Amino acid sequence: MLKTQEYYREILSKPFDFNEKETFELDGDKRSYAKNDAELKDLWRKYLKYETLNRVIDKMEAQEAEPTANAEIPKKSMEELEKEAREATLKSYDDLFGRLQKVKRSDRFGDFLNAISAMYDPHTEYFAPIEKQNFDIRFSGRLEGIGATLQTQGEYTKVSSIVVGGPAWKGKELQENDLILKVAQGTDGEFQDIGGMVVNDVVQLVRGKKGTIVRLQVKKVDGSVKMIQIVRDLVQIEDTYVRSLLLDSPNGEKAGYIYLPSFYASFDDPNGRFCSKDVAAELEKLKAENVDGIILDLRNNGGGSLRDVQRMTGFFVESGPVVQVKSRDSQPEILKDVDTRVQYTGPLIVMVNTLSASASEIMAAALQDYGRALIVGNPTFGKGSVQRFYNLDNGIPNNPEWQPLGEVKITTQKFYRINGGSVQLKGVTPDIVLPDEYQLIEVGERQESHPLEWTQIPAVDFSQNVFRIKNLEDLKRKSKARIASDETFRKVAQNAKRIKDQRDATLVPLNLGEYRAQETAFTKSGEAFKDFYPAEANKNVRNLPADLAAINANESDAARNGEFLKSVSRDIYLRETLQILHDLIKQ
């Protein structure tokens, strides 16, 4: 690290010549490894020149865009702009290397272990204690602490956001952009200076058990220094949880819309939130509204609790298998619907995309195999493996001086569809595929360097008589015709090609004129696709009457709900899905 630090400081001490004719390959996979120090240093030179060139162009464009009223102010010369840009690049790298020098040996050990494990499986990895805490928070949507997101800003730790409803939000004293200077525990604990401390260490000082006290010495935006005392509490991150709305199809049917961002579960608290219980409650509310059909949105849902998938799939079929789970040398374990009730018997569509992974793929695959739901969207991620956490402290019990050691997440099984196929690498192909702006770019499990292979096992017996998709080819034909005549979807397909072409253009000129011409061409080609989505694709998007009181309980929740309604109203994929739902109901 010290050698490369010497490289960039020496390189950035001298002006760059942007009139030279040379190029730089941005894609590391297309570059050959440096054979010696001279080649390595030249690689650094080109990369730093590329970064500085981008800053120079930004400064040139900002200067050119200044209003004519400032015409009497002399413009900066190219030499001045280059010097400012180079100094900004130097500061950026000094900050980066400053952070790298604070990385603990234990963190580097974790990186080393994960570099090895990734050669065998992309989902087997080591989690340091703080990383496991963060994983559990993302998984459950809950944490014990003050309800603030922190980030590093130079030598300081800045409050980047406040969680609505959390202790910090209720106290109204801690605010976004406050700088935390010192942290103390309890009412009389000694303050600890956190200047220069890595953010994960600061987080561990600020988090704590419900009911305990933390005191923060913070510097406010106006420069004043204030001591703030906060009682830690259970914080729920509401954006993690399921939400539902009412929508109207273009032909007047009332549709229920359930948005599930993850398959969350609170395994450490039986009274905590589980997505299967929450979705069951949303289904009851939608049935009370007499909806004609339901759309379950699993787009961008990266997975989560396998047991909740098992329960949730059973909401829509009488009984039977949901998924097969198999270890290397064992017979498949068949996970079945856990009760014979059917919570919803009407038309059902499940929306997926390339970021729908793991648990999302299990549910979509099961409902597709049963013929119970129509799957609409884009082929899914292709993660067909199951992981389990192992606490390393159990390997050396009664040794508190070495604990906590963290945990290891290990791939122990693969899951298979009830028809015997795997989603590994292949994902779930929707019944009706919609155009996507990233459809020409390789994404998902296939992108990994060492993914597990696709395999197949025997199918199991399954059937259901709740609701059957009929005339699938007719549904496909009607959707295809609508998409072909839809100007927005035509632009989506055109933009997909533009994105692919621009992404493949990884060899860039380091000549100012040539690079600026290339960037101008890219910008011009993108102008036709700037904000081409309609302002309102779906009309009469509204909350359920049963939810209004809670939503309007505070200004922040109401504002966040407004943004959610706005995003749903602009969703062209949901617009087409509502058309498909109409066709499905009409059958």
Q: Tell me how far apart the alpha carbons of residues 113 and 210 are, in angstroms, rounded to a whole number.
A: 33
Assess if residue 44 is contained within a domain: yes
* Domain residue limits at 255: 239-586
Per-residue pLDDT of 351-404, as tens digits, reads: 999 999 999 999 999 999 999 999 999 999 999 999 999 999 998 888 888 888
**pLDDT at 27 (0 to 100):** 92
Per-residue pLDDT of 440-463, as tens digits, reads: 988 899 988 899 999 999 999 999
Are 341 and 488 contained in the same domain?
Answer: yes
Are 370 and 506 contained in the same domain?
Answer: yes
Q: How many residues does the chain have?
A: 587
Q: Phi, psi (5° rounding) for residue 408?
A: -115, 130
Are 70 and 176 contained in the same domain?
Answer: no
Assess if residue 222 is contained within a domain: yes
Query: How do beta strands 233-236 and 213-219 pair?
Result: unpaired
In this prediction, residue 68 has a pLDDT band, given cuts at 50, 70 and 90, of low
In this prediction, residue 73 has a pLDDT band, given cuts at 50, 70 and 90, of low
Per-residue pLDDT of 97-153, as tens digits, reads: 888 888 888 888 899 999 999 999 999 999 998 899 888 888 888 888 999 999 888
Domain boundary among 86, 101, 116: 101
Are 32 and 58 contained in the same domain?
Answer: yes
Q: Tell me how far apart the alpha carbons of residues 2 and 321 are, in angstroms, rounded to a whole number.
A: 58
Per-residue pLDDT of 296-344, as tens digits, reads: 999 999 999 999 999 999 999 999 999 999 999 899 999 999 888 999 9
Nearest C-alpha neighbor of 463 from the set 580, 371, 355: 371
**Share above pLDDT 70 across residues of the chain, in percent, rounded to a whole number:** 99
**pLDDT at 402 (0 to 100):** 86
Q: What is the largest CA-CA distance in the chain?
A: 82
**pLDDT at 67 (0 to 100):** 65
Domain boundary among 236, 268, 292: 236
Are 162 and 196 contained in the same domain?
Answer: yes
Are 152 and 75 contained in the same domain?
Answer: no
Q: Residue 392 maps to which CATH number?
A: 3.90.226.10
Domain boundary among 47, 76, 101: 101
Q: What is the DSSP letter of 127?
A: E
Query: How many CB atoms are located within 10 Å of the residue 250 CB?
Result: 12
Q: Residue 222 maps to which CATH number?
A: 2.30.42.10
Per-residue pLDDT of 252-308, as tens digits, reads: 899 999 999 999 998 877 778 999 999 999 999 999 999 999 999 999 999 999 999
**Share above pLDDT 90 across residues of the chain, in percent, rounded to a whole number:** 71
Assess if residue 573 is contained within a domain: yes
Q: 324, 274 in Cβ contact below 8 A?
A: no
Q: Phi, psi (5° rounding) for residue 336?
A: -115, 165
Are 256 and 385 contained in the same domain?
Answer: yes
Assess if residue 26 is contained within a domain: yes
- Count up the domains in the chain and report the number: 3
Are 214 and 267 contained in the same domain?
Answer: no
Which residues form the catalytic set? 358, 369, 383
Assess if residue 116 is contained within a domain: no
- Six-digit token pair at 227? 């001591």
Q: Tell me how far apart the alpha carbons of residues 137 and 324 are, in angstroms, rounded to a whole number.
A: 28
Are 83 and 171 contained in the same domain?
Answer: no
Assess if residue 118 is contained within a domain: no
Amino acid, single-letter form, for residue 353: N
Q: Tell me how far apart the alpha carbons of residues 330 and 76 are, in angstroms, rounded to a whole number.
A: 72
Q: What is the DSSP letter of 391?
A: E
User: What does pTM read for this prediction?
Assistant: 0.88
Q: What is the DSSP letter of 75?
A: P
Q: 298, 360 in Cβ contact below 8 A?
A: yes
Contacting residues for 413 by C-beta, under 8 A, at least 6 apart: 325, 326, 327, 385, 386
**pLDDT at 70 (0 to 100):** 57
Assess if residue 120 is contained within a domain: no
- Round the average pLDDT of the chain to a whole number and report it: 92
Which residue(s) pair with 256 in the sheet? 246, 294
**pLDDT at 560 (0 to 100):** 84
Q: Tell me how far apart the alpha carbons of residues 543 and 565 are, in angstroms, rounded to a whole number.
A: 8
Per-residue pLDDT of 190-237, as tens digits, reads: 999 888 788 888 999 999 999 999 999 999 888 888 999 999 998 888
How far CA 311 is from CA of 285, 294, 320, in Å, comes to 18, 18, 11
Assess if residue 517 is contained within a domain: yes
**pLDDT at 102 (0 to 100):** 81
Nearest C-alpha neighbor of 53 from the set 507, 521, 520, 515: 515
Are 355 and 453 contained in the same domain?
Answer: yes
Are 323 and 418 contained in the same domain?
Answer: yes
Are 450 and 527 contained in the same domain?
Answer: yes
Question: pLDDT at residue 69 above 60?
Answer: no
